Amino acid sequence: MKWIAIIVFAGALGLLPAVAASKSDTPAPKFSSSTADPAESEFQRVMALDDTAHEEIDKWVKGNGTSSKEGASLSQAVLSLRVEQRLEPVKKAYEEFLQRYPKHARGHLAFGSFLNDLGEEAEARKRWEKALELDPSNPAAYNNLANSYGQTGPVAKAFELYAKAIELNPRQAIYYHNLGSVIVLHRKEAAEHYRIAEQQVLRHALELYRLARQFDAGNFQLATDLAQVYYGVQPPDHEAAIAAWGVALSLARNDLEREATHLHLARVKAAAGKLSEARRHLDLVSDPALAGVRTRLMRELVDKALPPPAKDDGRRLNLPSQPK
């Protein structure tokens, strides 16, 4: 259950993240009693129930994170059970709605996203497939199914479905973003599918992220994903990587995101030989959750500043993997 994963994450790190939304594009109209169509009116009511439940759960997760620092938090098992109980009437409302209106494409689409958040991926895929069967012109159904195939395969199917979503709605940033992310994750499959070399695959992902930023320029995660691609680009393009991480830094929404981005900037600037600048970025990092990566990067800077060793003495030659 994905909600349980969110609760565990919040408890383990002591952070207060907003409830993570899946990368889907399910429409969420607000409830309006004036809607003339009975099916649409009922659908909006169910969506409003879904939204309210998720807002409440978001507050519980955040509040439990705050309480944990004060020693009064609920156990993960108790909070998870509370979440399940809160979502049960919402699930029932979806099921009853689709029993009455089995041909409501957006109802199947929304219920699929709800089930996916519960961790019921197989059932979610069935709902999205039904939505696509009922409305082949809905790009969100293609996107959601592509997300599913991107996780479980075949990945080539995901590439095709994302392309169709983009064809139907070329101004939706998340379709480019999702396709770029799956391409980066499955580079070999992408190289085979597009019949290009792996380095060309990475540059294709960069272009997809840039297209996404045209429609969602303020998205920190999107800017971060774009910057991450430069770690795999060969030959290294240090200046482009530094610029990309600079954009991400300008979009960081909180201290943790800013400090994590400073670590990335320290890493890429060290690789570019800008050791003094890299050290200044490390000096701006103080969050205990990032202390281990900061320490390793600081040691790497010391190593780079030393004269080359006379012989192989086990000296550290590589920077650590990206901060998490």
Average per-residue pLDDT in the chain? 85
pLDDT over 70 for what percent of the chain?
80
The string of pLDDT tens digits covering residues 84-130 is: 899 999 999 999 999 999 999 999 999 999 999 999 999 999 999 99
Using DSSP's 3-state secondary structure scheme, residue 222 falls into helix
Q: Which residues contact 191 (CB under 8 A, 6 or more apart)?
A: 197, 198, 200, 201
Indicate whether 253 belongs to any domain.
no
**DSSP per position, 84-103:** HHHHHHHHHHHHHHHHH-TT
- At 302 the pLDDT is 87
Between 296 and 310, the more confident residue is 296
Q: Tokens for 82?
A: 């509370």
Indicate whether 154 belongs to any domain.
no
| For residues 193-210, average pLDDT | 97
Q: Which residues contact 69 (CB under 8 A, 6 or more apart)?
A: 14
Q: Using 50, 70 and 90 to split pLDDT, how confident is the model at 190?
A: very high
- At 77 the pLDDT is 80
Cβ 113 vs Cβ 26: under 8 Å: yes
The string of pLDDT tens digits covering residues 9-53 is: 333 333 322 323 344 454 444 444 445 689 999 999 999 999 999
Between 321 and 273, the more confident residue is 273
| For residues 65-90, average pLDDT | 74
Q: Measuring CA to CA, how many Å separate 313 from each of 271, 302, 307, 310, 319?
A: 21, 15, 13, 8, 17
Indicate whether 297 belongs to any domain.
no
- At 65 the pLDDT is 58
| For residues 257-274, average pLDDT | 96
Indicate whether 71 belongs to any domain.
yes
Indicate whether 189 belongs to any domain.
no
| For residues 81-85, average pLDDT | 88
How many CB atoms neighbour CB 172 within 10 A?
A: 19
**DSSP per position, 168-213:** H-TT-HHHHHHHHHHHHHTHHHHHHHHT--HHHHHHHHHHHHHHHH
Indicate whether 262 belongs to any domain.
no
Indicate whether 129 belongs to any domain.
yes
Q: Using 50, 70 and 90 to split pLDDT, how confident is the model at 317?
A: very low
- At 75 the pLDDT is 74
Indicate whether 298 belongs to any domain.
no
- At 22 the pLDDT is 41
Q: Report the domain count for the chain.
A: 1
Domain of 52 in residue numbering reads as 1-135
Cβ 109 vs Cβ 26: under 8 Å: yes
Q: Using 50, 70 and 90 to split pLDDT, how confident is the model at 322?
A: very low
